[in-house]
Amino acid sequence: MGFKRQRLMDQGSSYYGTPGPSYMYDAPPPPPPAYSYIPPPFPVVRLRGLPFDCAEAEIVDFFHGLDVVDILFVHKGGKPTGEAYCVLGYPLQIDFALQRNRQNIGRRYVEVFRSRKDDTIRP
């Protein structure tokens, strides 16, 4: 067999699918993909425009069908401001809570906003 023919046979032929030395076998394996875990958002919404004498039971009724875990009323100088933070049971419930935007509690319409956990612990 000639030198050229021997060299072609040693390299393998991609036409017949025979493995031979190639860059795929000589290269190191690719690194595994880097997965970064992003935690779900803390399930809290901010309410604005509440009646000043609003009770927790009225907010629970306002969010009927959602799991209300905690309600934090905002006071300034010891007086209610008409704002509150409502912690829900699951992050998916935030979208359902936002659908209640501009609905009424008593005679006042209440605005519902997306919020963060940092906003609830701020002094």
Domain locations in the chain as residue ranges: 44-121
pTM: 0.69
What are the tokens at 114? 């997306």
CB 72 within 8 A of CB 85: yes
Per-residue pLDDT tens, the chain, 123 aa: give them.
Answer: 555 555 555 555 555 555 555 555 566 777 777 777 888 889 999 999 999 999 999 999 999 999 999 999 999 999 999 999 999 999 999 999 999 999 999 999 999 999 999 988 875
CATH number of 44-121: 3.30.70.330
User: Tell me, what's the pLDDT at 38?
Assistant: 80
Which SS3 state, helix, strand or coil, does residue 61 take?
A: helix
Task: Mark 22-45 as b/e (b = at least 16 C-beta within 10 Å).
Answer: eeeeeeeeeeeeeeeeeeeeebbb
